[in-house]
Structure 1
Amino acid sequence: MYIETTDIYPDMDPRLQRALDRRERGDTTVATASSEEDEIGVLALVDDVDRFADRDGVRLGAVIGEVDGRLLVTARVPLSRVEEVRRAPGVRSMKCAQPLRPTLQATVPEIRADRASAPPGSLAGGGAGVLVGVVDTGLDFAHRNFRRADGSTRVVAIWDQSGASTPGSPFGYGRRHGAADIDRALGQADPYEALGYGPVPDQPGRPKGTHGTHVCDIAAGNGLGSGVAGVAPEADIAFAEPAVSDVAWQGQEVVGQFFGDSVQLLEAVRFLFNEAGERPCVVNISLGTHGGPHDGSSLAERGIDAMIAERPGRAVVISAGNSFERGVHAAGTVPPGGRADVRVAVPELLTAQCEVELWYAGGDVFRAELISPGGDVLGPVALGSNARVRADDGTTLLFVSHRANDPGNGDNVLGLFLDERVPPGVWTVRLHGERVVSGGYHAWIERNDSSQASFAGEPRDDSHTIGSISCGRLALAVGSYDAHVPGRPLSRFTASGPTRDGRAKPELSAPGHDVFAAHSRTGTGVVRKSGTSMAAPAVAGLAALVLAEARARGVSLPAGALRSVLTETARVDPPPVVWDPRYGHGRADAAECLRAVRELSPAGEPSGPGCPQPGGGQTGLGTSGVEATGLRTGLETTGL
């Protein structure tokens, strides 16, 4: 076993470096629903969209929104042109797509979203007039919980990103099914075949199945099939199902398939907000990933923030993740002139590439060495360089990228990509402090459901395990507790904050343990599932109720004001503190949220469209209006 340095553009995003390394070794990508052969999905921060799109080979996807005075876009770029496009004038940052994976009866009364718990005079109306958008897999549109009493659909649109592309498809791929299409299919003997879309049965190793149906029912099911309604049963529903990863390799070294990626995620959220139009809209994302800076600076998180900030009455709710006690986070300090070891335990029969990311301050300079399970010392890998670890037969076992000054946050990142044939056992990353200002570091191991690697011994640390797309400044992250047990204990799996930059995430917790909700392909049945994936849609439904109440009363709720309503009304028994790294600010409380919104309108009277308001006009509530009621607001209300 030996190590060799490479010239694979070490100042690029580590995943782009890895992609170019694989291409140089002869691997190619297969065509997917949204990309052609030898293309890769990217997020790009650019000065001029037209100029970027005019570059040879670039296929523009969606314009996500404004970030720091520039525009964030999705695109597909040929691997052969990645370096040229990344270095082109006006391209400020470009990131490779990052893989994602999917992460009732007690839920509604527990969060006090039932009719009996609503405060007198509530106008929430079960979320009527609000669109609940869900990014997930496998919506069973034929389940009675998503249909009206007359049998027609409540689903205004489904975008199946992997469906056969049709003219007018969102961003040029997949297939959009509108309400009329769904209603026509519901009139056929096999509605799934008629529509050309439907949840596939659960299969080992496949993420599709009942997940999206279950999540959607918690947020907005009406109970006409199961007998138990979700949190916002009168809301409209839109659904986006991501396609397989844009980084689908073929050849000698095949990487496992994932559930979508960060490029397709942003396009899905853009689609859902576009479907909402002028209506208030809440988007639920019960997906997760471990790798990333965990400080809100990733382009995926900033893109979500940008879309939320475009107008009041928008929210994105994301599951906090299920990674507590899984050994996927480590943290420590490298002393000046000293060293620190980070040990990664690689399991037998690794079934997919293992990725490790280690982030540290831009003012520090670390030198890295690798020590194999057999004791081989490999390196060094200096800051600003990269390298391959090869077996004696020349097979690449591991790619190392040590990037300086990431454009998103100015920090340094050490990325390790271990191929499936890497020797199992404990690999040691030895960090030498060549220049130390702060010395601190955080490391994460990417999620792999079939063969998860973990950190071995110290400095393993179960804090900061919240999902990496859950760390944005405007999106809401949700943890899970068990509503069936006295004392409402935390679910053992629910991830822990804070973010790497010290912000309080998650914001809230909700029931996510043993939740019964709609089961695909049963028509009326339910199934039990646990996870923060089940807790997030409870808060998404609650946000829909709050926005419906606010709309009826003529109250404008930008992101920061909505956050204040949700967090400052949370119940704190448990947790007994202002903020807990796993409970968040407390357990969601719909009744108190609606009461808080009522108090924001003049004299508590309705003032929305069609509702008379004292004094003749309508009121809009910005940041100052919320502060006047004593509700805290932060920078979130002012944008990014």
Structure 2
Amino acid sequence: MAGPLDRLTKLDSRLRCVANGATEVNAIRAEQNGAVRLKRRTRQAMASSLAIPVDGKSLKSLGRTLRAVKRGKSQTSLPTDVEVSVFVLFNQIDAPTPAIISRRNGRVGVATATLAELEKLNDNPAIQLIELGETLKLPTPSVADAIPLAPPSNRHAYLNQGMLSVAGGTSVSLDTVGENVLVGIIDVGGIDFAHPDFLDDAGTSRVIAIWDQGGDAFAPPDLTVSEGKAGKLTGYGSEIRSTDIAFAMAQAKASKLSPHDLAPQSVRERGSHATHVASIAAGRSGLCKRAKIAGVMIALSERDYDRGRNFYDTTRIVDGLAYLFELARREKCDAVSINISLGTNGGAHDGSEFVSRWIDTSLFEPGRAICVAAGNSGQDQPQFDGDLGFWSGRVHASATIPAASLRRDLEWTVVGNGLEDISENQVNIWFGAEDEFLIELFAPNGERIGPVAPGEQIENQMLADRTMVSIYNRLSDPKNGDNCISVFLSPFMGRPVIGITAGSWKVRLTGKIIRSGAFNAWIERDDPGQGNASGQWRLPSFFGNTTYVDNSTLSSLACGPRVTGVTNYDEAREALAASSSQGPTRDGRPKPEIAAPGTDIVAASGFDPTALWVAMSGTSMASPYVAGVSALMLSLNPKLTAAQISGIIRRTSQPLPGANYAWSNDAGFGVIDAQACLAEAVRIGLPTKDLTKKGTA
């Protein structure tokens, strides 16, 4: 008997994998997939069965928690207690918007739906595609052990010299630059709004709002959204407003309580990533030190048991952007500069992803800029004995199959604890619409799966070692028209849970119809950790020595045409950090655009009474530097567009020592020249000099 999935043809491959699983299976999946969660009642009912103590000695004690849908057994209906966060693509821009769509921008909408509700969306003739949001990954900066001194007050003296000289003899004062701008931070870990780096001369916090997407201490935001067709930012999270912050700080002084106990956030991590990033962009020690600051805290925690309760995927970034743009209007700010130091490896890496299209549409309006960290997936070799950082750098492969019937093998290494891996692993292979490939998969024990031809799929096939395999060979993706093969390896979530066999898996591509033959493959990175039920390890998989290609490793979010992608420049070494992700995009565009200081950056350390400052390194630190410069540029000239800001940054960049002005895949167009950027921002706003000779016919 056919199951409900047989007719759900509009679901993307990742969403089909989720819909294929029973509630118990998705309970574990939700701990690693930011676009999947269980309804509250179901989660509470299952909590006791999930919290099973484990001795950690036997691999066969993995969890003893969940069952799996066995091969050949179809569900008669999709669960109503599993929710997913999805993007929806409409056939036409004026197609009616179903009530379940929470926000819409042109042909793209976002929705939270139960698996059962997907059937109704699939049956809607106005809908072309339903795609699961991409899971956001924890940022991976390097944190120095030593507690540093406060950053020197003259760190950015070249910007705080009082007057900015501009071509043509015009000067503007820098004393108040930034007061008319909102700096938005979409990040994780909480913002320490009471940190001295965020206080003005009167002791008032310049943090005017925090949308804690996983919180419940205050009411959710209630802002009418002017962009798109769907109404308000309501329904989830906790908005801490400036009045709440002021009250908490005043009461804390009187009662000697922590202001963060009076205006709590759901996550308050010591050395908070978001606090550090905000400090670089807009702290007193940072770039735009007079700007208003607002944070959107994605509900992504280092604690696995927190993850299944909330969504932390790219649809949440869309909501965060809408919130910050509306907040800027509410606060009557002239412009807004936003930093996103989060990322994902998923997608086509060509700017066609729904979140990138949404961002690009929003950046057509003047007075807006968005900077995105390129990512820390640049290291492809160990730097010292025991260094495993290269795993995260071997996430990309590319090659060309020159003719039909010829083949290419990709070595895909699954790690786990050395014997098995309890996380799901995924590879996406993108290639042009003019080509067709067959795909086969070989397990470490030699077991063969496939071949799978174009237009075919294998779903939830159990191997001899109980690894669950799904393969989708899909033609003509609606977002870009290209073809994509997706391979998923999932642990057997039975009694006990049995991980994916560690070792070398082989992906074999064979040309069927070849005109170009070029392809690119990416591994979707999963955060390392231990299963909370089993104590067994999950670690990122990676491409082997003969397969990985050391380029095009930058985050999908940094591939958007109008965002500014930023890589990490080590000022002390006058070189690019080895960990910085590289371009170009899959369609050959020059990304990242710019390098900025991002190594050993001293900035605010959040929620730590023993240390006010911390030094971190990574593209997460470089990106807010550029966001701060962008905020200053917008303060001087609020009519600038994102395209103009990016153009100024590229045009004024300085080459690294020994390099020229040509774009390179690691440094972009060079190192940012902040002073030159500000001068150009003002110059663009000046009237055009008329050289027409007077009195000529």
Shorter-chain TM-score tier: 0.7 to 0.9
For 1:455-479, what per-residue CA distance to the aligned partner results, in whole angstroms no more than 9, with x for missing partners? 0123310110110111011111000
Residue 102 (structure 2) pairs with residue 61 (structure 1): yes
Shift of 1:116: 7.0
Shift of 1:117: 9.0
Q: Which residue of 1 aligns with 2:287?
A: 231
Q: Which residue of 2 aligns with 1:88?
A: 124
Q: Which residue of 2 aligns with 1:337?
A: 405
Residue 298 (structure 2) pairs with residue 242 (structure 1): yes
Residue 670 (structure 2) pairs with residue 586 (structure 1): yes
Q: Please give the secondary structure, in 2, of the residue aligned with 1:218.
A: helix
Query: CA 1:111/1:344 → structure 2, altered by over 3 Å: closer, same or farther?
Result: farther
How do 1:510-589 residues align onto structure 2 when only pairs under 5 Å count? 510-522=596-608, 525-551=612-638, 556-574=639-657, 575-589=659-673
Residue 212 (structure 2) pairs with residue 160 (structure 1): yes
Residue 394 (structure 2) pairs with residue 308 (structure 1): no
Residue 372 (structure 2) pairs with residue 318 (structure 1): yes
- Tell me, in whole angstroms, the C-alpha distance in 2 between the residues paired with 1:117 and 1:572: 26
Q: Which residue of 1 aligns with 2:248?
A: 185
Query: CA 1:123/1:362 → structure 2, altered by over 3 Å: closer, same or farther?
Result: farther
Tell me if the contact between 2:441 and 2:450 (Cα under 8 Å) persists in the aligned partners: yes
Tell me if the contact between 2:23 and 2:82 (Cα under 8 Å) persists in the aligned partners: no
Tell me if the contact between 1:107 and 1:538 (Cα under 8 Å) persists in the aligned partners: no
- The one of 394, 397, 413 aligned to 1:327: 394
Q: Which residue of 2 aligns with 1:43?
A: 87
Q: Which residue of 1 aligns with 2:201?
A: 149
Q: Please give the secondary structure, in 2, of the residue aligned with 1:173.
A: coil
Tell me if the contact between 2:212 and 2:266 (Cα under 8 Å) persists in the aligned partners: no
Query: CA 1:388/1:230 → structure 2, altered by over 3 Å: closer, same or farther?
Result: same
Query: CA 1:220/1:568 → structure 2, altered by over 3 Å: closer, same or farther?
Result: same
Tell me if the contact between 1:217 and 1:518 (Cα under 8 Å) persists in the aligned partners: yes
Query: CA 1:268/1:111 → structure 2, altered by over 3 Å: closer, same or farther?
Result: farther
Tell me if the contact between 2:165 and 2:172 (Cα under 8 Å) persists in the aligned partners: yes
- Tell me, in whole angstroms, the C-alpha distance in 2 between the residues paired with 1:25 and 1:531: 37
Query: CA 1:74/1:588 → structure 2, altered by over 3 Å: closer, same or farther?
Result: same
Q: Please give the secondary structure, in 2, of the residue aligned with 1:53.
A: coil
Q: Which residue of 2 aligns with 1:31?
A: 39
Q: Which residue of 2 aligns with 1:132?
A: 183
The size of the alignment, in residue pairs, is 567
- Tell me, in whole angstroms, the C-alpha distance in 2 between the residues paired with 1:106 and 1:318: 26
Query: CA 1:86/1:249 → structure 2, altered by over 3 Å: closer, same or farther?
Result: farther
- Tell me, in whole angstroms, the C-alpha distance in 1 between the residues paired with 2:649 and 2:40: 40
Q: Please give the secondary structure, in 2, of the residue aligned with 1:200.
A: coil
Shift of 1:414: 1.2
Tell me if the contact between 1:158 and 1:240 (Cα under 8 Å) persists in the aligned partners: yes
Query: CA 1:52/1:517 → structure 2, altered by over 3 Å: closer, same or farther?
Result: same
Residue type at the aligned position of 1:430: R
Query: CA 1:348/1:177 → structure 2, altered by over 3 Å: closer, same or farther?
Result: closer
- Tell me, in whole angstroms, the C-alpha distance in 2 between the residues paired with 1:599 and 1:128: 20
How do 1:355-504 residues align onto structure 2 when only pairs under 5 Å count? 355-388=426-459, 390-391=461-462, 395=466, 397-420=468-491, 421-450=499-528, 451-485=539-573, 488-504=574-590
Shift of 1:348: 3.1
Tell me if the contact between 1:381 and 1:402 (Cα under 8 Å) persists in the aligned partners: yes
For 1:300-335, what per-residue CA distance to the aligned partner results, in whole angstroms no more than 9, with x for missing partners? 1101111111x2010110000000122110001123
- Tell me, in whole angstroms, the C-alpha distance in 1 between the residues paired with 2:662 and 2:354: 30
- Tell me, in whole angstroms, the C-alpha distance in 2 between the residues paired with 1:491 and 1:568: 22
- Tell me, in whole angstroms, the C-alpha distance in 1 between the residues paired with 2:17 and 2:617: 35
Residue type at the aligned position of 2:102: G
Shift of 1:567: 1.1
Shift of 1:448: 2.2
Shift of 1:259: 8.0
Q: Which residue of 1 aligns with 2:279?
A: 217
For 1:345-403, what per-residue CA distance to the aligned partner results, in whole angstroms no more than 9, with x for missing partners? 00033242112111111221111100111111211122222214644679452222222
How do 1:279-290 residues align onto structure 2 when only pairs under 5 Å count? 279-290=334-345
Tell me if the contact between 1:11 and 1:404 (Cα under 8 Å) persists in the aligned partners: no
For 1:136-170, what per-residue CA distance to the aligned partner results, in whole angstroms no more than 9, with x for missing partners? 12111111111222222211111011111726553
Greater displacement, 509-518 / 165-174: 165-174
- Tell me, in whole angstroms, the C-alpha distance in 1 between the residues paired with 2:157 and 2:436: 48
Tell me if the contact between 2:214 and 2:310 (Cα under 8 Å) persists in the aligned partners: no
**Which stretches in structure 2 are left out of the alignment for 5+ residues?**
28-36, 44-79, 140-149, 223-232, 381-392, 492-498, 529-538, 692-697
Greater displacement, 126-135 / 167-176: 167-176
Tell me if the contact between 2:596 and 2:623 (Cα under 8 Å) persists in the aligned partners: yes
Residue type at the aligned position of 1:545: L
Shift of 1:265: 1.0
Shift of 1:107: 12
TM-score norm. by structure 2 comes to 0.76
Q: Which residue of 1 aligns with 2:97?
A: 52
Tell me if the contact between 2:215 and 2:266 (Cα under 8 Å) persists in the aligned partners: no
- Tell me, in whole angstroms, the C-alpha distance in 2 between the residues paired with 1:111 and 1:94: 50
Q: Which residue of 2 aligns with 1:631?
A: none
Query: CA 1:378/1:192 → structure 2, altered by over 3 Å: closer, same or farther?
Result: same
- Tell me, in whole angstroms, the C-alpha distance in 2 between the residues paired with 1:414 and 1:475: 27
Q: Please give the secondary structure, in 1, of the residue aligned with 2:19.
A: helix
Residue type at the aligned position of 2:637: A
Tell me if the contact between 1:119 and 1:591 (Cα under 8 Å) persists in the aligned partners: no
For the pair shown, the structure with the greater C-alpha radius of gyration is 2
Query: CA 1:341/1:585 → structure 2, altered by over 3 Å: closer, same or farther?
Result: same
Q: Please give the secondary structure, in 1, of the residue aligned with 2:501.
A: coil
CA RMSD of aligned residues (A): 3.0
TM-score norm. by structure 1 comes to 0.82
Shift of 1:219: 0.2
- Tell me, in whole angstroms, the C-alpha distance in 2 between the residues paired with 1:467 and 1:558: 23
Shift of 1:37: 3.7
Shift of 1:452: 1.3
Q: Please give the secondary structure, in 1, of the residue aligned with 2:363.
A: helix
Residue 155 (structure 2) pairs with residue 99 (structure 1): no
**Percent identity of paired positions between Structure 1 and Structure 2:** 32
Query: CA 1:443/1:108 → structure 2, altered by over 3 Å: closer, same or farther?
Result: farther
Tell me if the contact between 1:347 and 1:453 (Cα under 8 Å) persists in the aligned partners: yes
Tell me if the contact between 2:655 and 2:669 (Cα under 8 Å) persists in the aligned partners: yes
Shift of 1:244: 4.4
Residue type at the aligned position of 1:12: L
Shift of 1:95: 1.4
Tell me if the contact between 2:567 and 2:619 (Cα under 8 Å) persists in the aligned partners: yes
Tell me if the contact between 2:374 and 2:619 (Cα under 8 Å) persists in the aligned partners: yes
Shift of 1:294: 0.3
Shift of 1:93: 3.0
Query: CA 1:517/1:264 → structure 2, altered by over 3 Å: closer, same or farther?
Result: same
Residue 111 (structure 2) pairs with residue 75 (structure 1): yes
Q: Which residue of 1 aligns with 2:414?
A: 346
